[in-house]
Amino acid sequence: MISDFILPQNIGKLVSGQVPEANNTGYSGAGVFVFDDLVLKIEKISENNDATVEMMRWLEGKIPVPKVICCEKDNEYQYLLMSRTPGMMSCDKYYMERPELLISTLALAMKMLWSVDISGCPRDRNIEVELKEAEYRVENGLVDIERTEPSTFGERGFKDPEDLLNWLKSNKPDYEPVLSHGDFCLPNLFMEGDRFSGFIDLGATGIGDKWRDIALCYRSLKHNAEGFYSGKVYSGINADRLFDELGIKPDFEKIRYYILLDELF
């Protein structure tokens, strides 16, 4: 509930009198409150906070992202007030029942990222950066094994997160840098009618490998189609259609690598 937080004055003024809807879609642990035209995201203070806001500001006018309206911090939290992206999450039933539209629009969004000139991009999420962060998470017991794919750990998988981390360190794929969203899953991609309306949740956005987004998009399509989150199965979705729409041949080794890397986040 928003009343669990003591909002900084500037933020409080901007949303005063408005009643938000709490959004429980994400897994990041952030508090997300959706107002008519604004969204307030409240996250624990981390090294990442400022970089995300800087990234959002840099992207404004380049691709559709929420506009940063006000950002404040106290000792515990960062309060990010941004514009509300119009439309619906691409995992909405409306799009899940229209696989052609869904997959072609996701591919279009991805190509939109690839078309951004990355010179001057303020955040670099190359594989070394990702592995360093993954190492920190492994060393500090922050990896939640409960939320990983059933095959990743255990009998036929890796022994534990450390074992996976070591494998990732010694099997780095070659690097194809683009502007990468970093968490290219359906709830973070918005659509309105038959068009793409925006990227949200830019906490891992920056220069990164092209296959990072492809891998997470592919997995997200499959999971949402299998009813992993909603319980509803959509039999008409063929995730492999993504490669046709992107006009590239799938590289399943790289896809596997980036899905495994994401298991540590």
Ligand X SMILES: Nc1ncnc2c1ncn2[C@@H]1O[C@H](COP(=O)(O)OP(=O)(O)O)[C@@H](O)[C@H]1O
Tell me, yes or no, if 183 is annotated catalytic. yes
Task: In angstroms, give the least distance from the CB of 28 to Mg ion.
Answer: 7
Q: What part of residues 24-43 is at the interface with ligand X (CB under 6 A)?
A: 25-28, 30, 32, 34, 39, 41
Question: Mask of contacts with ligand X, 128-167, x by CB under 6 A?
Answer: ----------------------------------------
Q: The tokens of 251 are what?
A: 């590289």
The pairs formed by 47-54 with CB atoms below 8 angstroms and a separation of 24 or more are 48/203, 49/73, 49/78, 51/122, 51/123, 51/206, 52/80, 52/202, 52/203, 52/205, 53/80, 54/122, 54/123
Task: In angstroms, give the least distance from the CB of 249 to ligand X.
Answer: 30
Residue 89 binds ligand X (CB under 6 A): yes
The phi, psi pair for 88, rounded to 5°, reads -130, 160
82 binds, among ligand X, Mg ion, none (CB under 5 to 8 A by kind): ligand X
Smaller CB separation from ligand X, 202 or 254: 202
Residue 30 binds Mg ion (CB under 5 A): no
CA distance 211 to 197: 22
Q: What part of residues 163-222 is at the interface with Mg ion (CB under 5 A)?
A: 188, 201
Can you list the positions of beta strands (E) in the chain? 21-23, 31-34, 38-44, 68-73, 77-83, 88-89, 177-180, 189-192, 195-199, 206-209
Active-site choice (183, 201, 213, 262): 183
How many Å separate Cα 155 from the centre of its chain? 29
Spatial strand order in the sheet of 195-199: 88-89, 189-192, 195-199
Q: What part of residues 52-71 is at the interface with ligand X (CB under 6 A)?
A: 66
CA distance 94 to 165: 38
Smaller CB separation from Mg ion, 223 or 241: 223
Q: What part of residues 176-205 is at the interface with ligand X (CB under 6 A)?
A: 187-188, 200-201
Q: Using CB under 6 A, list all residues that contact ligand X.
A: 23, 25-28, 30, 32, 34, 39, 41, 66, 82, 84-85, 89, 187-188, 200-201
Residues with active-site annotation: 183
Q: Using CB under 5 A, list all residues that contact Mg ion.
A: 26, 188, 201
